[in-house]
Amino acid sequence: MGLRIHPLVVMLALGGCGRSSILVAADNDDDMCSADGESVFARVVLGYDPIAGGGAVPELSDVMEPRAALGPPELATPPLGAVSLGDGGTLTVGFAPCVITSDGSPGGDVIIYEQGYAERVTIALLPTTRAVTWLGEAVGDDGWVAIDAYPDSDDAIDLDAELGALPREALRFEAIRLRDVPGQGEVTPDTPGADIDAIEAPEGRLADPM
């Protein structure tokens, strides 16, 4: 990995790993689902599978701690302060007790902070039970809503644009799954795959479950 840190600006997306149990949770969580003028960062890790893609896996134990992706970005010198996904690996997080939504603006709904070389991820969202009825065919057989576009440091994915004009209650998601796009980036044998420092929901992108 290199020494720069860049955000992957997303507007809501991420797909799959089922409703697995919480592995770890952030400290000092105030459990607020909205905070005027403040962003909120991922609070719980729901899954981490660096071997999901069948490719290279991290060789350093320091970068296999998924808790590193919780809370604000540490902006530490790579590979410190981030979790490496592995080549094709996955990381699933949530903002419990809140759900992710969109505020209807063209701004990013989720920001993924990645360290080192620019390595893309695909993302998918796990809709709430009520949201599934609104989303219809957008929900895959695995129960997740995947977005085709690949976010990177130069573009944003607009959830509203991708899924069409839907009421806000249709855009409520319990979890986000990041999957590393395999076979990309510089050769980093110790830390293969995207290196995730934080996942942010900007102001207005969280809501109470329905």
Per-residue pLDDT tens for 70-79? 998 887 665 6
CA–CA separation, 210 and 204 (whole Å): 16
Residue 64 has pLDDT above 60, yes or no: yes
What integer pLDDT is reported at residue 180 of this predicted model?
Answer: 92
What integer pLDDT is reported at residue 127 of this predicted model?
Answer: 92
CA–CA separation, 1 and 185 (whole Å): 9
Phi, psi of 109 (to 5 degrees): -90, -25
Q: Mean pLDDT throughout 48-75? A: 89
What integer pLDDT is reported at residue 171 of this predicted model?
Answer: 83
CA–CA separation, 115 and 15 (whole Å): 21
Higher pLDDT, 49 or 61: 49
Residue 2 has pLDDT above 90, yes or no: no
Mean pLDDT across the chain, nearest whole number? 76
Task: For residue range 157-186, list pLDDT tens digits in order.
Answer: 667 777 777 777 778 889 999 999 988 766
Tell me, what amino acid is at 41? F
Q: Distances from the Cα of 200 to the Cαs of 40, 77, 129, in angstroms?
A: 6, 20, 23
Three-state SS annotation for 20-48: CCCCEECCCCCCCCCCCCCCEECCEEEEE
- Degrees, nearest 5: CA angle 69-74-77: 105
Sign, CA torsion 14/61/70/195: negative
34 pLDDT band, cuts 50/70/90, is low
Instruction: Say if CB 39 and CB 155 are below 8 A apart.
Output: no
Which of 35-39, 115-119, 168-172 shows the lowest mean pLDDT across its residues?
Answer: 35-39
What integer pLDDT is reported at residue 168 of this predicted model?
Answer: 75
Instruction: Say if CB 144 and CB 126 are below 8 A apart.
Output: yes
Which of 110-124, 129-143, 148-162, 177-191 shows the lowest mean pLDDT across its residues?
Answer: 148-162
What integer pLDDT is reported at residue 37 of this predicted model?
Answer: 54
Q: What would the two tokens of residue 115 be? A: 């360290």
Task: Classify the phi-psi angles of 190: left when phi > 0, otherwise alpha if psi is within -120 to 50, otherwise beta.
Answer: alpha
CA–CA separation, 63 and 77 (whole Å): 12
What integer pLDDT is reported at residue 15 of this predicted model?
Answer: 36
Tell me, what amino acid is at 54? G
Task: Say what percent of the chain tops pLDDT 70.
Answer: 70
What integer pLDDT is reported at residue 14 of this predicted model?
Answer: 35
